[in-house]
Structure 1
Amino acid sequence: MAKLLKFLLLASHVDWTKGSLYASLVSITASPLLWNVVARNEYRNKTLTKCMGAHSGCTALGVTIFVAGLYREVLYKKALHDQAQFHLPYGIQTVMAWIIFGIGNFLVFTSFIALGFYGTYLGDHFGILKEQRVTQFPFNVLDDPMYVGSTLCFVGAALWYERLAVGLLLSLYVAFTYYVALKFEKPFTNMIYENRNRSAKSKRW
């Protein structure tokens, strides 16, 4: 009940007539939908692989995801600026924004280093598989550090621009879309590696 009241309090401070708010919501939804649909199609039909090869296809998808992410951030910033500003004590705002944004970017960066380009951008759906599961930092601390880090970046931006109500609501929506995406991604990725392992065992025998 308390969580619902907090949510309603945040929502009451949002101007729901702004088109930029809905554009941001659409872009937040579209990003994980894009990479999941394209990657699953690639695993089943090898569309990009047939056209340009597995590594080039994965690179093309990775660049598309990256550019779509940048555009999503532009729309998010626009949505923030179209809302009322809530002034915070400058020291608190600056310190908290830098800490949260810094932690978020650190998690995203270290996740990328641990996974590599093809691991980050769904190379396993193109048949570019790792020898074993990545377990080093930050994956030994969090199950999904890249998604956590990305969400924290949204929260940090909301603090920096002093648009807490809409920023936190959109950040919660980001977290929700990642949560839903993971419900589809994890089982599918596990299936890919289980099939690889079964195939490797059958070849040994």
Structure 2
Amino acid sequence: MSGLKDFINVDKTSLAISVASIAFNPLAWNIVAQNEYRNKTITRVFGGNTRYGCYFLAFMIFSFGILRDSLYHQALEDQPTRHILPEVYRTVVPVVLFLVGQTLVLTSTWALGITGTFLGDYFGILMDHRVEGFPFNVVTNPMYDGSTLCFIATALWYEKPAGLIISAYVYVVYKLALRYEEPFTSMIYSNRATNGKKAN
């Protein structure tokens, strides 16, 4: 057990809090967004204005994302430090991974816009067509993939093996979230297509 603690200290409260926050974000936003689609709860709070409701949810998602990242950094501070990469790669690899990750996140946000990025389709704010340009022509889920790369880059930068384990956990959490998000989003657009045909 002492050998394992050389790489990750599971007794640290900050680790548990970080892991919980990582799971909370996609789970909470899926629940909130699906409730919004069915019951229009947030929209009603904003007097029926779907865009204000979506902007509010975007602000909440963004804020909790910053909190999640802060908790991750705190967790890493409490974890053992070990050389992970050969010295020649210790700086360049995490920097490259972080830049690639941020590029995927920022360019996907630019391509989708605020409402496209932050679950606007659950508010009835639908895009006219599927975005197929960069970065979606490189990876299917650039927001989640880019975020995962940033977690990995941070772990490598601070030389925290526990961070790599958390990053693997992030990847799994995102994949599970997509199993709920993608079918629901497809259903929303399928319903629009069906209703459009009926209207014609």
What TM-score range do you get, normalising by the shorter chain? over 0.9
Tell me the amino acid that sits aligned with residue 186 of structure 2: N
Instruction: Specify which structure has the higher proportion of helix.
Output: 1
User: 1:118 maps to which residue?
Assistant: 115
CA distances 1:42-62 after superposition (whole Å, capped 9, x unpaired): 000001111212000100100
Aligned equivalents of 1:48, 1:19: Cα separation in 2:
34
Question: How many corresponding residue pairs?
Answer: 195
Aligned equivalents of 1:155, 1:92: Cα separation in 2:
14
TM-score under structure 1 length normalisation: 0.92
Tell me the amino acid that sits aligned with residue 194 of structure 1: S
- Match of 1:74, SS state, is helix
Q: Does 1:41 align with 2:38?
A: no
User: 1:22 maps to which residue?
Assistant: 16
Tell me, yes or no, if the aligned pair for 1:10 and 1:166 is still in contact at 8 Å: no
- Match of 1:13, SS state, is coil
Query: Which structure 1 residue ranges, 5 or more long, are not aligned?
Result: 1-8
Correspondent of 2:196 among 185, 193, 200:
200
Tell me, yes or no, if the aligned pair for 2:21 and 2:68 is still in contact at 8 Å: yes
CA distances 1:118-148 after superposition (whole Å, capped 9, x unpaired): 0000000000000111111111111111100
Correspondent of 2:176 among 168, 177, 180:
180
Tell me, yes or no, if the aligned pair for 1:24 and 1:76 is still in contact at 8 Å: yes
Correspondent of 1:168 among 158, 164, 183:
164
Q: Does 1:157 align with 2:154?
A: yes
Tell me the amino acid that sits aligned with residue 174 of structure 1: V
User: 1:78 maps to which residue?
Assistant: 74
TM-score under structure 2 length normalisation: 0.94
Tell me the amino acid that sits aligned with residue 57 of structure 2: L
Tell me, yes or no, if the aligned pair for 2:7 and 2:81 is still in contact at 8 Å: no
Segment of structure 1 superposing worse, 195-204 or 82-91: 82-91
Residue 89 of structure 1 deviates from its aligned partner by 4.9
User: 1:6 maps to which residue?
Assistant: none
Correspondent of 1:57 among 53, 56, 66:
53
RMSD over aligned CA atoms reads 1.4
Overall identity of the aligned pairs, in %: 49
Residue 93 of structure 1 deviates from its aligned partner by 1.1
Query: Which structure 2 residue ranges, 5 or more long, are not aligned?
Result: none
Tell me the amino acid that sits aligned with residue 64 of structure 1: M
Aligned equivalents of 1:131, 1:89: Cα separation in 2:
48
Structure 1 residue ranges, 4+ long, deviating more than 6 angstroms after superposition: 9-12
Q: Does 1:32 align with 2:26?
A: yes
Change in CA separation of 1:174 and 1:11 when aligned onto 2, cut-off 3 Å:
farther
Tell me, yes or no, if the aligned pair for 2:7 and 2:82 is still in contact at 8 Å: no
Correspondent of 2:125 among 111, 124, 128:
128
